[in-house]
Amino acid sequence: MYTYEMIIDSHLHLPVRDNLLSLETQSQELINELQNHRISKGIVIPDNIDNSPIGNLKQCIQLFNNIPNIYILGTVNILEDNLEDKISQLREYFLFNQIVGLKIFPGHDDHYPDDKRLEPFLKLCIEYDKPLVIHTGENSGNNECSKYNDPKYIVGIAESFPSLKIIISHLFWPKVEYCVEITKDFANISYDTSALADKEVVIKTGREDIKYSLEILIKKYNKKILYGSDYGMCNLQDHISLINTLDISDKQREEIFYKNSALLFGL
Ligand SMILES: [Zn+2]
């Protein structure tokens, strides 16, 4: 197997387990797991509510403040947050390099990605040239929610904001081929592989459909794919193996594992 100098995991959360009794032990576990899998850099995604077992934005920033190889995504909840306060908070985090992008959770939250209330946040990402990461697809045991994150709404903002870097998480599983078809022509849309090796996702979507969709995005449409695992919820090794079994060149694999994340997030 080809071995890589560097791997960036672009999609991590704090692990939640019975034996991890504080955010500090959760963050230490995450750091250990990255080391065990020779992952050199990681991007941690906080929750967008205050009281969460995976930590909120402020908590995640504080936890990893002195860890140079861990980066944080900003999060926003347009249904709950004071939006003016949130914008100035995120602006400050961008300014001091405390966040490297912004994640939204349509489907977890009952709003669409093209909701007008998001526009100042999209413009903030453009101003700092950082990606907007968008949760897509079903939630475990709930397919209704995916109406909120249908990629047909994402191409709307890709078109309205051509300089906005968009990263689609989870490839709108289980409808991965539909996601490829509808988004492939937008130069500012990229994808991460988070949760795509998860058991439930693989069973419902089909392993071959997932691999095929990733391969044609890379080989036919020249799209950027970013390795991400959704660790915390998902298994790191399964996601590394997914990338290693794709029928692509070593150069393309290196781009997925490292270069695309470094480039898009500016790491
Ligand atoms: Zn996630």
Whether 198 maps to a domain, the answer reads yes
Cα 232 to middle of ligand 1, angstroms: 8
Of 223, 265, 232, 227, the C-alpha closest to 244 is 227
Distance, CA 182 to ligand 1 centroid (Å)?
22
- CA–centroid distance, residue 123 to ligand 1 (Å): 23
Summarize pLDDT for 60-114 with one digit per residue, the tens: 999 999 999 999 999 999 999 999 999 999 999 999 999 999 999 999 998 999 9
For residue 79, give its domain range: 8-265
Has residue 151 been placed in a domain? yes
Determine the distance separating the centroid of ligand 1 and the alpha carbon of 56, expressed in angstroms.
13
pLDDT at 58 over 90: yes
Of 56, 54, 157, 42, give the one whose Cα is nearest residue 100. Answer: 42
Distance CA 154, CA 160 (A): 10
Average pLDDT over every residue of 42-58: 96
What CATH number corresponds to the domain at position 223?
3.20.20.140
| Count of structural domains, the chain | 1
The values of phi and psi at residue 132, to 5°, are: -100, 120
The structure tokens 């449409």 sit at 221
Does 2 reside within a domain?
Answer: no
Tell whether 94 is covered by a domain.
yes
Question: Residue 133 falls within a domain, yes or no?
Answer: yes
For residue 3, being part of any structural domain is answered with no
Sheet hosting strand 166-169, strand order edge to edge: 74-75, 102-104, 132-135, 166-169, 189-192, 225-226
Q: Please determine, for residue 1, whether its predicted confidence score (pLDDT) is greater than 70.
A: no
The pLDDT assigned to 3 comes to 56
How far, in Å, from the CA of 96 to the mean position of ligand 1? 24
1 assigned to some structural domain: no
Beta-bridge partner residues of 218: none
Ligand 1 centroid to residue 230 C-alpha, Å: 5
For the chain, how big is the Rg over CA atoms in Å? 17
**Distance from the CA of 167 to the center of ligand 1, in angstroms?**
12
Q: Could you tell me if residue 241 is inside a domain?
A: yes
